[in-house]
C-alpha cells in the first residue's frame, strides 16, 4: 500500500509505539528551534535536565521576538540564551538576523526530517517537506536532551490544489480559503498535506505562507512535497546537498480530501477577531484604513517584499495611513536594499522596522483607538495588537500594499495602475551566515550569564486525590493563549518571571482574574470549545499554575496548550460528549457559573479510568467530564508535571513542596 508524505516521514522517525490512528507514538526529533520569548524558559528547563550537550542533529536558538530593549530585561535574556547556546552545543541566530521561521526556512530546513520548535508557527518549514511541529518549551528542551516527542498519530488530510492563481490573488488567499472551510478548530488532530497540479506554480516561500498559517487551523502541522520547485529553492540558497525528493506514492491513502481550484480564488481577508472569519475584499467593502503592517513569519519573504515594492514604486502612502514594513530576515533586507526595492519602499513613505516579529506580537506599532489595521500576519485575536478596540484584518501583501496607497481596503484587482510581478524570480539568494554563531568548542569554559529578571519556573506538587475550589473564570469558545497570558511590549520582557507575569493572566478580558485566583487559593477554569488555541507559550499554563489553578474544564482543547497543561500538572478535563454515554443532553457547560464551588473526589482513579465526576456544591448538581490520558500523561499528572515526573518517577515520591 502506498504512503503519503506524512507516513513516509513518520515511518522513518517512530521510536516508540505503532503507527495506528488514535494511538500515541514517540518520534525522533532531528532538529529543534527556539525563539527568545519561549526560549528563556526552555533553556532553564534544559539546564535542569543535567545534560552536557544537545543530542539533536542541530538545534538553533533565535532572537526575534523581544527586540525592544526598553529596560535591561530583554538584553539580559538575549545574553542568557546566547551563553546557554554556546555551552550546550546550540547555534545562535543573533538579534537582527531575522524571524526564526524565515531564517530556518532559508538556512536550516531539510526535507524529510523532523523539527520541533517552541513556537506554534514552526510548521512553516513544512513548505519544503519537513515534518515541523510546534510545542511547549519543555517538550523542545526534552527533544534537545534526546527524548522522543510524543504525538497522537494524526489524520492526514490531502489538500488538492488545481489550476493557477489569478493575477493579484496570492498564496495567502489559499490558506484563508482553507481556514474558511475548516475553521480555527477544524485541524485539531490532523496534518494537512498539499498536492495536485496547482503546486507547480507555487514557489517555496508561497508554500511556506500556507504551512505557516496552517497553525491557525489548530493542526499538528502542514506539509508540501519536496519537488522540483523545492530543489530550485535549495539551489538558490546554496544548499542543494540538503535537498532530496519527497513525494507521496500514487496510491497513497488520506483520511479526507479537500479540493481547491486556484483559479476560483479571489483576494480575501480574515476580519476581526479571528483568522477564520474570512470574507472577500468586496464583501467587506472599501472601509477606511488607518494602519497597514507588512511582515511577520507569514509574509516577509524576498518574493513578498519585491511584490510590495513593485506596488509602491513611484506612488505614495495615503496621508492618513501609517505603513510599517518588517522584512523577515537579514537576507531579505539586504537583498532588497542592494537591488533598490527598499529605496522604492522608503520613498513611498513606508516606515521600515527591523527584521523581527515586531507588531505581530504587539512589540510596538499598536494601532490607535478604534483604528482599522490591515496586516499580512497570521493572527488577529482580540487585543493581540496591543489595542483592544483596534479592528485588525489579515490579508496578503498585495491587498495590504494597495490599501496603504488608497487609504481604504482595496481589492488589488481593481487598481488603476499597472504592476508586473512576472520577473520576480531568484536563482541566487545572498548568503551570509555570519550572524549565526556556532557553539563553543570548549563548553566547560563557558559561563552562563543570568540577569536579575530571570526567576525560577514554578513547579507543581504531587496530585491530590480530592480537589476543590471555585471556578475562577468561565470563558466562551476559542479562548486563545493571548487571552490567557497576553503578550505585548510591556509584558514580553517578563517571560522569565512568572510571578510578575501571572498578575496579567486573562487581563484583556478580565482584569481581576489574578486577584480572584489568589484570594481563593486558586481553583478551576471553565472554558468553551478550542480552549487555548494559538501560541505555544507554556506561560499560559505556568501563570495559572502559579496562581493555584488545579484543572481546566472545557468543551475541547487546542493541542499544544493541552500538552502544556499536562506538562505543568494541571488537569485538562472535557465536558463529556453526552452521546458517548447515551445521556440526555445536560448542557453541563451552561450549568456552571463563575465562583461556583467545585469538588472532585477520587481524582487519581479518575485520571486513570478516563472519567471523573464533578460536584457543583453551589448548585447542588453534578456532571461527568472525560479525562482520557495515555500512560505517560497519567504519570505526569500524578507527579505534578513533566519535570517532576522525570525527576521522581523512579522514587514514586513526588514533591509536596
Ligand atoms: C505568537 O505568534 O503568538 C508567538 C509569540 O510567536 C508564540 C510564541 C510565544 O508566545 O512566545 C507562538 O506562536 O507560539
Ligand atoms: Fe513572530 Fe508573529 Fe511569527 Fe509569532 S506569528 S513567530 S510573533 S512573526
pLDDT of res. 457: 83
Closest ligand, as measured to the CA of 357: 2
Extract the C-alpha cell encoding 282. 468586496
Whether ligand 2 lies within 6 angstroms of the CB of 574 is answered as: no
Cβ-based neighbours of 235, under 8 Å, separated by 6 or more: 243, 427
Residue-wise burial string across 114-148, b where 16 or more C-beta atoms lie within 10 A, e elsewhere: bbbbbbbbbbbbbbbbbbbbbbbbbbbbbbbbebb
Whether ligand 1 lies within 6 angstroms of the CB of 487 is answered as: yes
Ligand 1 mutation target, pool 378, 487, 488, 559, most atoms within 8 A of CB: 487
Closest ligand, as measured to the CA of 65: 2
Extract the C-alpha cell encoding 369. 483607538
Closest ligand, as measured to the CA of 361: 2
Whether ligand 2 lies within 6 angstroms of the CB of 63 is answered as: no
Neighbours of 523 (CB within 10 A): 25
Whether ligand 1 lies within 6 angstroms of the CB of 101 is answered as: no
pLDDT of res. 655: 43
CA distance 309 to 139: 40
Reading across the β-sheet that carries 391-394, which strands appear in turn?
A: 278-280, 268-270, 391-394, 372-375, 291-294, 322-325, 351-352
Chain center to CA of 425: 29
Whether ligand 2 lies within 6 angstroms of the CB of 37 is answered as: no
Cα 14 to averaged position of ligand 1 atoms, centre (Å): 27
Q: Using the 8-state DSSP alphabet, how is residue 393 labeled?
A: E
Closest ligand, as measured to the CA of 120: 1
Ligand 2 mutation target, pool 104, 121, 363, 491, most atoms within 8 A of CB: 121
Greatest extent of the chain over all pairs of C-alpha atoms, in Å: 73
Axis-axis angle for helices 330-338, 302-312 (nearest 10): 40
Q: Which atom, in ligand 2's list, is nearest to the CA of 535?
A: 4
Whether ligand 1 lies within 6 angstroms of the CB of 361 is answered as: yes
Whether ligand 1 lies within 6 angstroms of the CB of 298 is answered as: no
Whether ligand 2 lies within 6 angstroms of the CB of 576 is answered as: no
**Distance separating the N- and C-terminal Cα atoms of the chain:** 53
Cα 102 to averaged position of ligand 1 atoms, centre (Å): 14
pLDDT of res. 583: 57
Whether ligand 2 lies within 6 angstroms of the CB of 297 is answered as: yes
H-run or E-run covering 146: none
pLDDT of res. 64: 98
The closest residue, in CA terms, to atom 7 on ligand 2 is 361
Per run of 10 residues, the mean pLDDT along the chain (length 657 residues) is 96 96 94 97 94 97 96 96 98 98 98 98 99 98 97 97 98 98 97 98 98 98 98 98 98 98 98 98 98 98 98 98 98 98 98 98 96 98 96 98 98 97 93 98 97 90 97 97 95 94 97 98 97 97 98 96 98 84 69 97 98 96 95 96 80 46
Strand partners, 223: 193
SS3 assignment, position 468: strand
CB-CB contact of 556 with 188 (8 Å): yes
CB-CB contact of 34 with 168 (8 Å): no
Q: Which atom, in ligand 1's list, is nearest to the CA of 360?
A: 2
Q: Which atom, in ligand 2's list, is nearest to the CA of 379?
A: 5
Q: Which atom, in ligand 1's list, is nearest to the CA of 134?
A: 14
H-run or E-run covering 184: none
Closest ligand, as measured to the CA of 299: 2
Closest CA to 10 of 54, 24, 122: 24
Transcribe 474-533 into DSSP letters: E--SS-BHHHHS--STTTGGGTT-HHHHGGGTTTTT-TTHHHHHHHTT-EEEEE-TTBTB
pLDDT of res. 324: 98
Whether ligand 2 lies within 6 angstroms of the CB of 329 is answered as: no
Q: Which atom, in ligand 1's list, is nearest to the CA of 35?
A: 11
**What sign for the dihedral angle of Cα 352, 357, 360, 362?**
negative
* Residue with the three cell numbers 510578575: 500
CA distance 56 to 458: 27
CB-CB contact of 193 with 416 (8 Å): no
Whether ligand 2 lies within 6 angstroms of the CB of 121 is answered as: yes
pLDDT of res. 657: 37
Cα 35 to averaged position of ligand 2 atoms, centre (Å): 10
Reading across the β-sheet that carries 155-162, which strands appear in turn?
A: 221-223, 190-195, 155-162, 256-261
The closest residue, in CA terms, to atom 1 on ligand 2 is 357
For 515, phi and psi rounded to 5 degrees?
-60, -45
pLDDT of res. 587: 83
CB-CB contact of 377 with 296 (8 Å): yes
CA distance 213 to 219: 10
Extract the C-alpha cell encoding 346. 522608503
pLDDT of res. 585: 54
Strands 523-527 and 467-474: parallel
Closest CA to 335 of 123, 101, 98: 98
Neighbours of 448 (CB within 10 A): 16
Cα 591 to averaged position of ligand 2 atoms, centre (Å): 38
Whether ligand 1 lies within 6 angstroms of the CB of 119 is answered as: yes
Transcribe 17-64 into DSSP letters: S---TTSEEEE---EEEE-HHHHHHHHHHHHHTT-SS--SSEEEEE--
Cα 120 to averaged position of ligand 1 atoms, centre (Å): 6
Transcribe 280-337 into DSSP letters: EHHHH-S-B-SEEEE-TTTS-SHHHHHHHHHHHTT----TT-EEEE--SBHHHHHHHH
Amino acid at each position: 500500500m502506498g504512503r503519503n508524505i506524512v507516513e513516509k516521514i513518520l515511518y522513518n522517525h517512530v521510536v516508540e509505539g505503532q503507527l495506528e490512528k488514535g494511538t500515541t507514538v514517540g518520534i525522533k526529533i532531528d532538529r529543534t528551534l527556539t525563539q527568545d520569548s519561549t526560549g528563556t524558559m526552555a533553556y532553564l528547563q534544559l539546564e535542569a535536565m543535567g545534560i552536557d550537550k544537545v543530542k539533536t542533529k542541530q538545534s538553533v536558538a533565535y532572537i526575534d521576538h523581544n527586540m525592544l530593549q526598553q529596560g535591561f530585561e530583554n538584553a539580559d535574556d538575549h545574553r542568557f540564551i546566547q551563553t546557554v547556546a554556546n555551552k550546550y552545543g546550540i547555534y545562535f541566530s543573533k538579534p537582527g538576523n531575522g524571524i526564526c521561521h524565515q531564517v530556518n526556512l532559508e538556512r536550516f530546513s531539510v526535507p524529510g526530517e523532523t523539527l520541533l520548535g517552541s513556537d506554534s508557527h514552526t510548521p512553516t518549514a513544512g513548505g519544503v517537506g519537513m515534518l515541523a511541529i510546534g510545542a511547549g518549551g519543555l517538550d523542545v528542551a526534552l527533544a534537545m536532551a534526546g527524548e522522543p516527542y510524543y504525538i497522537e498519530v494524526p489524520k492526514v488530510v490531502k489538500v488538492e490544489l488545481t489550476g493557477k492563481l489569478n493575477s493579484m490573488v496570492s498564496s495567502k488567499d489559499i490558506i484563508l480559503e482553507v481556514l474558511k472551510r475548516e475553521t480555527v478548530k477544524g485541524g485539531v488532530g490532523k496534518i494537512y498535506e498539499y498536492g495536485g497540479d496547482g503546486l507547480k506554480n507555487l514557489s517555496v516561500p508561497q508554500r511556506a505562507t500556507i504551512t505557516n498559517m496552517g497553525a491557525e487551523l489548530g493542526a499538528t502541522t502542514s506539509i508540501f512535497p519536496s519537488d522540483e520547485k523545492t530543489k530550485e529553492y535549495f539551489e538558490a540558497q546554496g544548499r542543494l546537498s540538503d535537498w532530496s525528493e519527497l513525494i507521496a506514492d500514487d496510491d497513497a491513502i488520506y483520511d479526507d480530501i479537500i479540493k481547491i481550484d486556484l483559479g476560483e480564488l479571489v483576494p480575501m481577508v480574515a476580519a476581526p477577531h479571528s483568522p477564520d472569519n474570512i470574507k472577500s475584499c468586496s464583501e467587506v467593502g472599501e472601509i477606511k484604513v488607518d494602519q497597514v503592517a507588512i511582515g511577520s513569519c507569514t509574509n516577509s519573504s524576498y518574493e513578498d517584499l519585491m511584490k510590495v515594492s513593485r506596488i509602491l514604486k513611484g506612488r505614495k502612502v495615503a496621508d492618513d495611513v501609517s505603513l510599517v514594513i518588517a522584512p523577515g530576515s537579514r537576507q531579505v533586507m539586504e537583498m532588497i536594499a542592494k537591488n533598490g526595492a527598499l529605496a522604492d519602499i522608503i520613498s513611498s513613505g513606508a516606515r521600515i522596522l527591523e527584521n523581527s516579529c515586531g507588531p505581530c506580537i504587539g512589540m510596538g506599532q499598536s494601532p490607535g483607538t478604534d483604528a482599522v489595521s490591515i496586516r499580512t500576519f497570521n493572527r488577529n485575536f482580540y487585543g493581540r495588537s496591543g489595542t483592544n478596540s483596534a479592528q485588525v484584518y489579515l490579508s496578503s501583501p498585495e491587498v495590504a500594499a494597495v490599501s496603504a496607497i488608497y487609504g481604504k481596503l482595496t481589492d488589488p484587482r481593481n487598481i488603476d495602475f499597472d504592476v508586473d510581478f512576472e520577473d520576480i524570480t531568484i536563482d541566487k539568494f545572498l548568503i551570509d551566515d555570519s550572524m549565526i554563531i556556532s557553539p563553543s568548542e570548549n563548553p566547560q569554559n563557558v559561563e552562563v550569564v543570568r540577569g536579575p529578571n530571570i526567576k525560577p519556573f514554578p513547579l507543581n506538587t504531587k496530585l491530590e486525590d480530592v480537589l476543590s475550589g471555585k471556578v475562577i473564570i468561565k470563558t466562551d469558545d476559542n479562548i486563545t493563549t493571548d487571552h490567557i497570558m497576553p503578550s505585548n511590549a510591556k509584558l514580553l520582557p517578563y517571560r522569565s518571571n512568572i510571578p510578575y507575569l501571572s498578575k496579567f493572566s486573562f487581563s484583556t478580558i478580565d482584569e481581576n482574574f489574578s486577584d480572584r485566583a489568589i484570594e481563593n487559593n486558586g481553583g478551576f477554569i471553565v472554558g468553551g470549545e478550542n480552549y487555548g488555541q494559538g501560541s505555544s507559550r507554556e506561560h499560559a499554563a505556568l501563570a495559572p499554575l502559579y496562581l493555584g489553578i488545579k484543572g481546566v474544564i472545557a468543551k475541547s482543547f487546542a493541542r499544544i496548550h493541552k500538552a502544556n497543561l499536562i506538562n505543568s500538572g494541571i488537569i485538562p478535563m472535557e465536558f463529556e460528549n453526552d452521546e458517548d454515554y447515551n445521556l440526555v443532553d445536560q448542557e453541563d457547560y451552561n450549568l456552571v457559573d463563575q465562583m461556583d464551588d467545585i469538588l472532585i473526589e477520587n481524582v487519581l482513579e479518575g485520571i486513570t479510568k478516563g472519567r471523573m465526576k464533578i460536584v457543583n456544591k453551589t448548585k447542588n448538581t453534578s456532571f461527568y467530564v472525560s479525562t482520557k490520558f495515555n500512560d505517560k500523561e497519567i504519570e505526569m499528572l500524578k507527579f505534578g508535571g513533566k519535570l517532576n515526573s522525570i525527576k521522581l518517577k523512579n522514587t514514586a515520591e513526588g514533591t509536596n513542596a
